[in-house]
């Protein structure tokens, strides 16, 4: 309550100005996949009101834990990775969140309707907003945070930093996995005191997440774990690797998608000349953005038994004399023993030569970098487009047979190598490669409608031939991507299908059914804003007339800063989305008068 009217007027004006300044900073994160967009700050009856994106079907993390109980460590880590990605994007722009807590993390269905799959950080960088029922403290007009979740240096008057946001994230993840905060007390003053002076309550359910939580909740910000080290630690909890396999590790995709991947019944494309149940691979026939769907698709067959893992290495040692307490063997027996060993060694070498002649590499004696199942005779390089023929259900235990499509178009590739992760040993590649690939490919995957990460891990025998590197693929989740992805695409590239259109692409519409990629710095007809899914009973012919309205409803251009009096929603529907049953359409924005757009667009 204000002491007098003059103070009230000045304080209200300061609040509004401060909120607007923060909103402008937060607007720099517009379009980030894990941030709720801030549109505007309005003044009503002397108070600032924040206009933010509406997220249908969302439930905040605090309410989810209250309704359903604490979450599993891997699910907490998945949420933590998304929030950390949002925080890092803000920190790179100099924007601190200042109030990371469970109530500010929204969990919403994704495009497929999977509950809680979408993670969004809300209230980003907003210093003032109408009271949400939780007490906030201010110090010299600067937001400190919520009791129990603010960092100790903030509670004692220090400035907001990336380290303070990381501490608050640690408290939030602790709450998610334990069901209560690490410094939860009966009163708010007691919580603030505990944050500054007391150790966090020892976790009981955190499991693999416990060491990371301890590192995030260190009192001294100089000794606290950094965001750069937190990201791979969270990824390791999300995608644990318990042993090194002779083949590609099947758990290179996110652990939380495992159950869905095992039960989905989407269609796949077989390789030519193979039984349709062999998975999907290049057929040489590319669907267009409109017209009849290609034939030759079939449901994947039953999974094949997983690969046998390596056993422990056996290392022998040789000394310079007999072991202590033993006598030297008899000379004649020693000669006989040596002869027997030599014969056995010769037999082993001979049998090994026969095996290698039958099973070894066919060309030039080069080791297969990723094993016989993957069947590549050279290491994958950054940008290689691949065709994947799965022997069972895609993304199950048995890796696909991969072939490289040098043109990135001729064989309708299923994916592309987006990164290479070096390792010191094959064992390290098996342990860390999948999680590292999950992290390295996240940026491009967040911009595409239906893809997944997959790590091609070298075998022990092929580790050197693979260049000591794990290849990080981005593969179509339900079928091919029909061309290059991410930064491997070049302006002027014509889209064969919508599968490799990504958010913020600028397009030149060549016809109602054809488009090509152009630079956003020049003139263009449309820009991709996002994706939406049409009803399962919608036909491709119906999609042509329904998708614009669906995009206007679910991905409205005004949410991205486009004036609704000048711009309108548009869309592209590709054959592949109906062949695979995903029914995803690409939502774009264009000028209502049909004019071209330029680099100064929102």
Q: DSSP state, 406?
A: T
Q: Which of 533, 532, 512 is nearest to 590 (CA)?
A: 512
Tokens of 334: 């020693």
Q: Which of 422, 597, 430 is nearest to 509 (CA)?
A: 597
Tell me which H or E stretch contains 526. Answer: strand 526-533
Q: Say if CB 386 and CB 413 are below 8 A apart.
A: yes
The phi, psi pair for 313, rounded to 5°, reads -70, 145
Decide: helix, strand or coil at residue 506: strand
- Pick left, alpha or beta for residue 346 (phi over 0 → left; psi -120 to 50 → alpha; otherwise beta): alpha
Q: Say if CB 203 and CB 178 are below 8 A apart.
A: yes
Q: Which of 99, 373, 497, 505 is catalytic?
A: 99
The length of the chain is: 602
Q: Say if CB 498 and CB 289 are below 8 A apart.
A: yes
Active-site annotation holds for 99: yes
Q: Say if CB 490 and CB 505 are below 8 A apart.
A: no
The phi, psi pair for 119, rounded to 5°, reads -115, 125
C-alpha distances in Å from residue 469, one per residue of 29, 78, 224, 311, 420: 33, 25, 30, 22, 6
Tokens 């070498």, residue located: 349
Q: Which of 478, 469, 455 is nearest to 374 (CA)?
A: 455
CB atoms within 10 A of CB 382: 13
- State the chain's maximal CA–CA distance in angstroms: 111
**C-alpha–C-alpha distance, residues 191 and 151, integer Å:** 11
What 426-430 contacts at long range (C-beta under 8 Å, 24+ apart), as own/partner pairs, is 426/244, 426/458, 426/459, 426/460, 426/463, 427/244, 427/460, 429/244, 429/457, 429/458, 429/463, 429/468, 429/469, 429/470, 430/241, 430/243, 430/244, 430/245, 430/249, 430/457
Residue 17: CB partners within 8 Å, gap ≥ 6? none
> Cα 75 to the chain's mean position, in Å?
13
Tokens of 162: 């990336």
**C-alpha–C-alpha distance, residues 564 and 439, integer Å:** 36
- In 3-state terms the chain splits into helix, strand, coil percentages (rounded to 5) of 35, 15, 50
C-alpha distances in Å from residue 9, one per residue of 4, 21, 138: 9, 18, 18
Helix 426-440 / helix 227-238 crossing angle, nearest 10 deg: 110
Active-site amino acid positions: 99
């Amino acid at each position: 309550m204000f002491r007098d009217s003059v103070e009230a007027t000045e304080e209200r004006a300061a609040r509004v100005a401060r909120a607007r300044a923060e909103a402008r900073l937060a607007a720099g994160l517009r379009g980030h996949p894990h941030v709720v967009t801030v549109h505007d700050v309005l003044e009503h009856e002397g108070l600032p009101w924040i206009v933010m994106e509406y997220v249908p079907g969302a439930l905040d993390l605090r309410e989810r834990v209250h309704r359903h109980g604490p979450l599993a460590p891997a699910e907490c880590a998945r949420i933590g990775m998304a929030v950390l990605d949002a925080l890092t994007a803000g920190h790179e722009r100099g924007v601190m969140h200042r109030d990371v807590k469970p109530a500010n993390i929204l969990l919403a269905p994704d495009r497929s309707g999977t509950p809680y799959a979408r993670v969004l950080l809300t209230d980003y960088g907003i210093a003032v907003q109408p009271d949400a029922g939780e007490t906030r403290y201010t110090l010299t007009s600067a937001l400190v945070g919520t009791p129990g979740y603010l960092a100790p240096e903030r509670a004692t008057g220090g400035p907001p930093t990336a380290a303070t946001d990381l501490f608050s994230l640690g408290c939030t993840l602790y709450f998610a996995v334990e069901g209560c905060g690490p410094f939860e007390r009966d009163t708010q003053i007691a919580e603030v005191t505990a944050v500054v002076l007391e150790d966090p309550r020892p976790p009981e359910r955190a499991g693999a997440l416990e060491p990371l939580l301890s590192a995030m909740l260190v009192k001294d910000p100089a000794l606290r774990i950094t965001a750069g080290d937190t990201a791979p630690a969270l990824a390791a909890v999300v995608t644990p690797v318990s042993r090194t396999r002779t083949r590609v590790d099947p758990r290179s995709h996110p652990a939380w998608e495992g159950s869905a991947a095992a039960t989905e019944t989407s269609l796949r494309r077989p390789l030519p000349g193979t039984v349709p149940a062999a998975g999907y691979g290049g057929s040489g026939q590319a669907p267009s953005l409109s017209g009849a769907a290609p034939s030759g698709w079939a449901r994947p067959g039953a999974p094949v038994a997983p690969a046998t893992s390596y056993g422990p290495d056996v290392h022998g040692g040789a000394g310079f004399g007999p072991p202590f307490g033993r006598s030297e063997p008899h000379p004649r027996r020693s000669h006989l023993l040596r002869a027997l060993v030599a014969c056995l060694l010769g037999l082993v070498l001979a049998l090994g030569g026969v095996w290698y002649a039958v099973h070894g590499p066919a060309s030039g004696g080069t080791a297969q970098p990723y094993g016989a199942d993957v069947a590549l005779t050279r290491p994958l390089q950054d940008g290689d487009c691949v065709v994947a023929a799965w022997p069972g259900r895609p993304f199950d235990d048995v890796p696909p047979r991969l072939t490289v499509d040098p043109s990135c178009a001729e064989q309708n590739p299923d994916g592309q190598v987006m990164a290479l992760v070096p390792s010191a040993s094959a064992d390290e590649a098996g342990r860390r490669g999948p999680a590292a690939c999950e992290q390295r490919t996240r940026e491009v995957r967040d911009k595409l409608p239906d893809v997944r990460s997959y790590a091609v891990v070298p075998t022990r025998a092929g580790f050197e031939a693979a260049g000591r590197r794990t290849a990080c693929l981005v593969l179509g989740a339900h079928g091919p991507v029909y061309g290059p992805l991410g930064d491997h695409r070049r302006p002027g590239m014509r889209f064969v299908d919508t599968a490799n259109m990504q958010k913020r692409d600028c397009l030149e519409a060549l016809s109602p059914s054809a488009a090509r990629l152009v630079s956003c710095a020049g003139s263009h007809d449309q820009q991709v804003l996002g994706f939406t899914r049409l009803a399962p009973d919608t036909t491709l012919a119906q999609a042509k007339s329904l998708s614009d309205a669906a995009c206007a409803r679910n991905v409205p251009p005004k949410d991205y800063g486009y004036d609704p009096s000048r711009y309108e929603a548009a869309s592209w529907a590709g054959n592949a989305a109906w062949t695979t049953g995903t029914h995803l359409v690409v939502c774009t924005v264009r000028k209502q008068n049909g004019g071209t757009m330029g680099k100064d667009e929102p």
